[in-house]
Amino acid sequence: MQTDIRTVRASEESARAFVYRVLSTYIREMFLHPGEKLAETDVAAELQVSRTPVHDTFSRLEREKMLRPVPRGAVVPPLSADTIRQTVWMHRTVCQAVLGELYNHRPATLEPLERCVAAELEALQGGAIVKMARLQLEFHRTLYTLAGREPVMEAMERNSGDLYRLLRMLENADLWRYVADQHSAIVQGLAMRDYELAARALEAEHDLVEPLLEECRYRQPYFFE
């Protein structure tokens, strides 16, 4: 685990919160690959904290299924194709309901969603593909927030770790441009009161996952169960 800006501890941050932030970020962002082993002593030395917050964080990440215990440490678990498919089904179902709420009770402004799309296009133009999974997540968070469903999105995210890691593996600019185009169509549909346009774009985004899952399993089978 290399030291960089993500491993800088904020002055007000507790040791436990710091360790959790760093490890969960490294796992979700695929800086730590499935199968990599972590030892509490090594992490404590790397982050310059005692073993207690590291031990507590390992236990928390194991409960959240972001680590698996092994003798003298833990390993980053592989991605589960079945879990990803179940997560996509859940997102597909709930997102359509959220979209319906936004259609029936249109928010005062769609500017937050427009800013999300602009950020995606800016990242693509600058070649910052590494940002796209996070920006895709931010678009959906904003969608839920505008519908007043932040707690629902928070619950969804707790079960979406493998899906996020899959998206983080994708480095095809054309694919991410397609996702940004669907997000733009969702915003356009909401602005024009065209529910069918927005719903089709949302379905098109979710439909991408299955072929991408199969491609990633073929290309990097050692990352999957």
pLDDT digits (tens, 9 = 90+) for 170-220: 999 999 999 999 999 999 999 999 999 999 999 999 999 999 999 999 999
Q: Does 91 lie in the same domain as 69?
A: no
Burial annotation 51-68 (CB, 10 A radius, 16+ → b, else e): eebbeebbebbeeeebbe
**What is residue 158's three-state secondary structure?**
helix
Residue 109 has which token pair? 């402004």
Range of the domain at 126: 81-223
Q: What are phi and psi of 126, to 5 degrees?
A: -90, 5
Residue 139 has pLDDT above 70, yes or no: yes
Q: Does 110 lie in the same domain as 39?
A: no
Out of 75, 101, 116, pick the residue that ends a domain: 75
Burial annotation 3-15 (CB, 10 A radius, 16+ → b, else e): eeeebebeeeeeb
pTM of the predicted structure, to 2 decimals: 0.91
Q: Does 12 lie in the same domain as 95?
A: no
Beta bridge partners of 121: none
